Amino acid sequence: MTTILLVTSSPRGTEGLSTRFATEIAEGLKARSGGTITVRDLATNPLQHIAPAYINGRAIPSESRTPEQAEAVRLAEALVDELRHADTVVIGSSMINFGPSSLLKAWFDHIIWPGVTFGYGEDGPKGLLSNKKIYLVTATGGVFSAGDYAPFDFQTGYLRHLLGFIGLTDVELIRVEGTVFGPDAANAAIATTEAQVREVLERAA
Protein backbone atom coordinates (compact mmCIF):
# COMPACT_ATOMS: atom_id res chain seq x y z
CA MET A 1 0.00 0.00 0.00
CA THR A 2 1.39 3.38 -1.01
CA THR A 3 1.91 6.09 1.59
CA ILE A 4 1.50 9.60 0.19
CA LEU A 5 2.68 12.77 1.90
CA LEU A 6 0.83 15.90 0.73
CA VAL A 7 2.52 19.18 1.64
CA THR A 8 0.57 22.34 0.81
CA SER A 9 1.80 25.87 1.43
CA SER A 10 -0.27 28.45 -0.43
CA PRO A 11 -1.09 31.49 1.75
CA ARG A 12 -4.48 31.37 -0.02
CA GLY A 13 -5.20 28.06 1.67
CA THR A 14 -7.65 25.84 -0.18
CA GLU A 15 -8.26 28.60 -2.73
CA GLY A 16 -4.67 28.42 -3.93
CA LEU A 17 -4.17 26.67 -7.26
CA SER A 18 -1.03 24.92 -6.07
CA THR A 19 -3.07 23.46 -3.20
CA ARG A 20 -5.92 22.51 -5.50
CA PHE A 21 -3.81 20.62 -8.01
CA ALA A 22 -1.46 19.06 -5.45
CA THR A 23 -4.51 17.74 -3.60
CA GLU A 24 -6.03 16.41 -6.81
CA ILE A 25 -2.82 14.53 -7.59
CA ALA A 26 -2.55 13.08 -4.08
CA GLU A 27 -6.19 11.99 -4.01
CA GLY A 28 -5.92 10.55 -7.53
CA LEU A 29 -2.85 8.55 -6.58
CA LYS A 30 -4.59 7.30 -3.47
CA ALA A 31 -7.62 6.17 -5.50
CA ARG A 32 -5.38 4.22 -7.86
CA SER A 33 -3.09 2.64 -5.27
CA GLY A 34 -5.46 2.17 -2.36
CA GLY A 35 -2.89 4.00 -0.27
CA THR A 36 -3.08 6.54 2.51
CA ILE A 37 -2.48 10.30 2.57
CA THR A 38 -0.75 12.23 5.31
CA VAL A 39 -1.51 15.94 4.95
CA ARG A 40 0.88 18.63 6.11
CA ASP A 41 -1.07 21.85 5.54
CA LEU A 42 1.40 24.64 6.22
CA ALA A 43 -1.15 27.39 5.67
CA THR A 44 -3.55 26.09 8.31
CA ASN A 45 -0.81 24.92 10.67
CA PRO A 46 2.25 27.06 9.92
CA LEU A 47 5.60 26.07 11.34
CA GLN A 48 7.58 28.55 13.38
CA HIS A 49 10.80 29.59 11.75
CA ILE A 50 13.81 27.75 13.08
CA ALA A 51 15.45 29.37 16.11
CA PRO A 52 18.36 28.70 18.49
CA ALA A 53 16.37 26.02 20.32
CA TYR A 54 16.31 23.90 17.18
CA ILE A 55 19.78 24.74 15.84
CA ASN A 56 21.47 24.07 19.17
CA GLY A 57 19.15 21.32 20.34
CA ARG A 58 19.68 19.06 17.33
CA ALA A 59 23.45 19.18 17.84
CA ILE A 60 23.52 17.84 21.40
CA PRO A 61 22.44 14.54 23.03
CA SER A 62 18.75 14.30 23.87
CA GLU A 63 19.43 14.09 27.61
CA SER A 64 21.24 17.43 27.52
CA ARG A 65 18.45 19.39 25.83
CA THR A 66 16.36 21.98 27.58
CA PRO A 67 12.57 21.53 27.40
CA GLU A 68 12.44 24.17 24.65
CA GLN A 69 15.18 22.43 22.69
CA ALA A 70 13.54 19.04 23.14
CA GLU A 71 10.22 20.33 21.79
CA ALA A 72 11.88 21.96 18.78
CA VAL A 73 13.77 18.79 17.92
CA ARG A 74 10.67 16.60 18.41
CA LEU A 75 8.82 18.70 15.82
CA ALA A 76 11.63 18.34 13.30
CA GLU A 77 11.83 14.59 13.96
CA ALA A 78 8.09 14.27 13.31
CA LEU A 79 8.42 16.14 10.02
CA VAL A 80 11.37 14.01 8.93
CA ASP A 81 9.50 10.83 9.88
CA GLU A 82 6.53 11.88 7.74
CA LEU A 83 8.86 12.37 4.81
CA ARG A 84 10.93 9.24 5.40
CA HIS A 85 7.88 6.96 5.64
CA ALA A 86 6.24 8.31 2.47
CA ASP A 87 6.58 6.44 -0.82
CA THR A 88 5.28 9.43 -2.79
CA VAL A 89 5.44 13.12 -1.91
CA VAL A 90 3.22 15.80 -3.47
CA ILE A 91 4.26 19.39 -2.79
CA GLY A 92 2.20 22.45 -3.64
CA SER A 93 4.15 25.72 -3.87
CA SER A 94 2.86 29.17 -4.76
CA MET A 95 5.37 31.74 -5.95
CA ILE A 96 5.70 34.66 -3.55
CA ASN A 97 8.09 37.41 -4.67
CA PHE A 98 9.74 35.11 -7.23
CA GLY A 99 10.36 32.24 -4.80
CA PRO A 100 8.49 29.75 -2.61
CA SER A 101 6.51 31.03 0.35
CA SER A 102 8.18 31.32 3.75
CA LEU A 103 5.68 28.67 4.90
CA LEU A 104 7.32 26.08 2.65
CA LYS A 105 10.83 27.38 3.34
CA ALA A 106 10.24 26.77 7.07
CA TRP A 107 9.34 23.13 6.33
CA PHE A 108 12.55 22.62 4.39
CA ASP A 109 14.55 24.34 7.13
CA HIS A 110 13.28 21.73 9.60
CA ILE A 111 13.83 18.66 7.44
CA ILE A 112 17.24 19.48 5.95
CA TRP A 113 19.20 18.11 8.88
CA PRO A 114 22.88 17.16 8.81
CA GLY A 115 23.41 13.53 9.74
CA VAL A 116 19.70 12.80 9.34
CA THR A 117 18.62 13.74 5.81
CA PHE A 118 22.05 14.54 4.38
CA GLY A 119 25.64 13.82 5.28
CA TYR A 120 29.14 14.74 4.23
CA GLY A 121 31.61 12.32 2.68
CA GLU A 122 34.86 12.45 0.78
CA ASP A 123 33.01 13.65 -2.31
CA GLY A 124 31.01 16.31 -0.50
CA PRO A 125 27.38 16.32 0.67
CA LYS A 126 25.18 13.30 0.02
CA GLY A 127 21.41 13.01 0.42
CA LEU A 128 20.28 10.27 2.79
CA LEU A 129 16.73 9.87 1.45
CA SER A 130 15.89 7.97 -1.73
CA ASN A 131 13.34 5.82 -3.57
CA LYS A 132 10.56 8.39 -3.47
CA LYS A 133 8.56 9.89 -6.30
CA ILE A 134 8.07 13.63 -5.92
CA TYR A 135 5.33 15.62 -7.64
CA LEU A 136 6.06 19.34 -7.40
CA VAL A 137 3.11 21.61 -8.23
CA THR A 138 4.04 25.26 -8.69
CA ALA A 139 1.64 28.16 -9.20
CA THR A 140 2.65 31.53 -10.62
CA GLY A 141 0.59 34.47 -11.75
CA GLY A 142 2.98 35.23 -14.59
CA VAL A 143 4.64 32.89 -17.06
CA PHE A 144 8.02 31.72 -15.79
CA SER A 145 8.59 28.48 -17.71
CA ALA A 146 9.86 30.42 -20.75
CA GLY A 147 10.17 33.95 -22.04
CA ASP A 148 11.37 37.17 -20.45
CA TYR A 149 10.54 36.15 -16.89
CA ALA A 150 12.15 32.69 -16.94
CA PRO A 151 15.41 34.02 -15.40
CA PHE A 152 13.40 35.23 -12.41
CA ASP A 153 11.93 31.83 -11.52
CA PHE A 154 13.70 31.34 -8.21
CA GLN A 155 11.06 28.84 -7.12
CA THR A 156 11.35 25.65 -9.17
CA GLY A 157 15.13 25.45 -9.43
CA TYR A 158 15.53 26.21 -5.74
CA LEU A 159 13.00 23.58 -4.67
CA ARG A 160 14.54 20.98 -6.97
CA HIS A 161 17.93 21.76 -5.47
CA LEU A 162 16.68 21.38 -1.90
CA LEU A 163 15.00 18.08 -2.72
CA GLY A 164 18.05 16.79 -4.54
CA PHE A 165 20.31 17.84 -1.67
CA ILE A 166 18.58 15.32 0.60
CA GLY A 167 18.54 12.64 -2.10
CA LEU A 168 15.14 13.18 -3.71
CA THR A 169 15.89 13.50 -7.41
CA ASP A 170 12.88 11.80 -9.02
CA VAL A 171 10.88 15.02 -9.34
CA GLU A 172 8.02 15.65 -11.78
CA LEU A 173 7.05 19.29 -12.20
CA ILE A 174 3.46 20.38 -12.78
CA ARG A 175 3.01 24.10 -13.44
CA VAL A 176 -0.02 26.35 -13.37
CA GLU A 177 1.03 29.75 -14.65
CA GLY A 178 -0.16 32.86 -16.42
CA THR A 179 -3.31 33.32 -14.39
CA VAL A 180 -3.05 37.10 -13.91
CA PHE A 181 -3.72 38.08 -17.50
CA GLY A 182 -7.50 38.12 -17.29
CA PRO A 183 -10.27 35.52 -16.96
CA ASP A 184 -9.70 33.91 -20.36
CA ALA A 185 -5.99 33.46 -19.72
CA ALA A 186 -6.66 32.10 -16.24
CA ASN A 187 -9.20 29.59 -17.53
CA ALA A 188 -6.82 28.48 -20.27
CA ALA A 189 -3.98 28.07 -17.77
CA ILE A 190 -6.15 26.02 -15.44
CA ALA A 191 -7.36 23.84 -18.31
CA THR A 192 -3.75 23.18 -19.35
CA THR A 193 -2.82 22.12 -15.83
CA GLU A 194 -5.93 19.96 -15.51
CA ALA A 195 -4.83 18.10 -18.63
CA GLN A 196 -1.33 17.66 -17.22
CA VAL A 197 -2.72 16.30 -13.96
CA ARG A 198 -4.82 13.78 -15.91
CA GLU A 199 -1.72 12.66 -17.77
CA VAL A 200 0.20 12.26 -14.52
CA LEU A 201 -2.53 10.11 -13.00
CA GLU A 202 -2.96 8.02 -16.15
CA ARG A 203 0.76 7.21 -16.13
CA ALA A 204 0.58 6.35 -12.44
CA ALA A 205 -2.35 3.95 -12.91
pLDDT at 68: 97
Count the alpha carbons within 13 Å of 62 in the hemisphere toward its beta carbon.
4
The pTM of the full predicted model, rounded to 2 decimals, is: 0.95
Structural domains counted in the chain: 1
Q: Is the pLDDT of residue 1 over 80?
A: no
pLDDT at 148: 95
Angle at 101 between CA 95 and CA 102, to 5 degrees: 160
Count the alpha carbons within 13 Å of 40 in the hemisphere toward its beta carbon.
25
For position 74, which CATH number holds? 3.40.50.360
Q: Is the pLDDT of residue 34 over 90?
A: no
- What is the average pLDDT value for the chain, to the nearest integer? 96
- Distance (Å, whole) CA 82 – CA 48: 18
Q: Is the pLDDT of residue 205 over 80?
A: no
64 known member of a binding site:
no
* Distance in angstroms between the alpha carbons of the first and the last residue of the chain: 14
In the chain, what percentage of residues exceed pLDDT 70? 100
Q: Is the pLDDT of residue 114 over 80?
A: yes
Query: Would you place residue 127 in the very low, low, confident or very high pLDDT band (cuts 50, 70, 90)?
Result: very high
pLDDT at 121: 84
Which 3 state secondary structure label does DSSP give 91?
strand
Mean pLDDT calculated for residue range 1-20: 94
pLDDT at 188: 96
In the chain, what percentage of residues exceed pLDDT 90? 94
CB 167 within 8 A of CB 130: yes
- Distance (Å, whole) CA 13 – CA 136: 17
Helix (H), strand (E) at residue 80: helix 67-85
Mean pLDDT calculated for residue range 146-153: 96
Mean pLDDT calculated for residue range 78-106: 97
**Domain interval for residue 21:** 3-204
pLDDT at 122: 86
pLDDT at 33: 87
Helix (H), strand (E) at residue 140: strand 133-140
Q: Is the pLDDT of residue 95 over 80?
A: yes
pLDDT at 204: 85
